């Protein structure tokens, strides 16, 4: 069985790989090109004109021409970090899932060529606190290593982790989570009840399902859990961290679309 729900203890043991191409051997490697522009902390443009989204990470966002879109705290600093690491350097691309998004950006892990071995841009950004782990159901490779890097950066309060805007939220404060509605958040707490209703599973973190925080796993995601041999109902009583976009449907909630959105911190 391939482990996909992230276990903190196991990850700390297995996540010691260097930030190089060898750190994620499951990728399909391909030539990239010269980085001629860093768009933001998780997007670059190559000399071929190809725009590459650094899959697996989310850096603080810039408006990039979107009217009314706020600059997230430390977004310019994250962009500057990626510029220092990758601008005017040749890169290789590593694909581990869907290769192109709806904006026609390449979805790839980026490796900067050096005199030694190619260095993994995603790992560099995450381990220095300039990006968070951010995954998709159709791109799930190499996340364990990134989770370890993120955990260390968060513990050391590097980069974004020193700013309250990016703090891990408490699941037992639904009022504060509602204030963060529409945002991408990391929410931590103990699952009071894991229950199936029809084609979905609910992970309830409080006694009042229509007020308290809930993580919802819909049928397509449940198929991914099942294919990996994971039963989310066994998370009842576990202390977990869930990441995703917060919405308000009978209280604050996050929809879990794939197992990697959940980190198991402790079991009862």
pLDDT band at 220 (very low <50, low <70, confident <90, very high): very high
Residue 22 gets which letter from DSSP?
G
CATH code of the domain containing 42: 2.40.50.90
**Domain-embedded: residue 218:** yes
Specify the pLDDT at position 69. 87
Asked whether residue 25 falls in the same domain as residue 140, the answer is: yes
Closest CA to 230 of 262, 253, 207: 262
Contact 96, 28 (CB under 8 A): yes
Range 57-81 average pLDDT:
94
Same-domain check for residues 29 and 115: yes
How many domains are contained in the chain?
2
Instruction: Write down the number of H helices and E strands in the chain.
Output: 6, 17
In a domain, 186, yes or no: yes
Contact 20, 119 (CB under 8 A): yes
pTM here is: 0.90
Q: Which domain holds residue 63?
A: 6-162
pLDDT at 214 over 80: yes
| Positive or negative: CA dihedral 156, 159, 160, 163 | positive
CA dihedral 167, 172, 174, 176 (to 10 degrees): -40
Q: Note whether 82 and 174 are same-domain residues.
A: no
Residue 25's pLDDT is 80
Q: Mean pLDDT across the chain, nearest whole number?
A: 91
Whether 139 and 157 have beta carbons less than 8 Å apart is answered as no
Residue 1 in domain: no
Examine the pLDDT at 24 and tell me if it is beyond 50: yes
CATH number of the domain that residue 223 is part of:
2.40.50.140
Is residue 94 in some structural domain? Answer: yes
At residue 3, does pLDDT exceed 60? Answer: no
């Amino acid at each position: 069985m391939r482990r996909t729900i992230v276990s903190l203890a196991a990850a700390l043991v297995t996540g010691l790989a260097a930030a190089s191409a060898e750190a994620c051997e499951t990728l399909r490697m391909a030539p990239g090109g010269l980085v001629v522009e860093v768009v933001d902390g998780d997007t670059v443009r190559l000399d071929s004109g190809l725009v590459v989204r650094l899959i697996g990470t989310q850096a603080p966002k810039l408006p990039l021409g979107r009217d009314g879109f706020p600059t997230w705290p430390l977004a310019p600093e994250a962009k500057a970090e990626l510029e220092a690491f990758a601008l005017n350097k040749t890169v290789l691309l590593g694909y581990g899932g869907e290769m192109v998004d709806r904006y026609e950006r390449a979805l790839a892990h980026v490796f900067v060529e050096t005199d030694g071995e190619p260095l993994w841009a995603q790992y560099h950004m995450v381990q220095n606190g300039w990006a968070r782990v951010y995954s998709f159901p159709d791109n799930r490779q190499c996340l364990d290593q990134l989770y370890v890097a993120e955990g260390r950066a968060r513990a050391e309060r590097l980069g974004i982790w020193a700013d309250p805007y990016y703090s891990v939220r408490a699941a037992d404060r639904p009022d504060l989570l509602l204030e963060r509605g529409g945002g991408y958040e990391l929410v931590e707490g103990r699952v009071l009840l894991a229950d199936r209703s029809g084609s979905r599973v609910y992970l309830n973190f409080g006694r009042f399902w229509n007020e308290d925080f809930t993580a919802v796993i819909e049928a397509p995601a449940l198929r991914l859990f099942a294919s990996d041999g994971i039963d989310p109902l066994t998370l009842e009583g576990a202390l977990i961290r869930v990441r995703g976009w917060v919405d308000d449907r009978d209280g604050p909630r996050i929809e879990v679309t794939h197992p990697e959105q959940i980190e198991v911190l402790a079991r009862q």
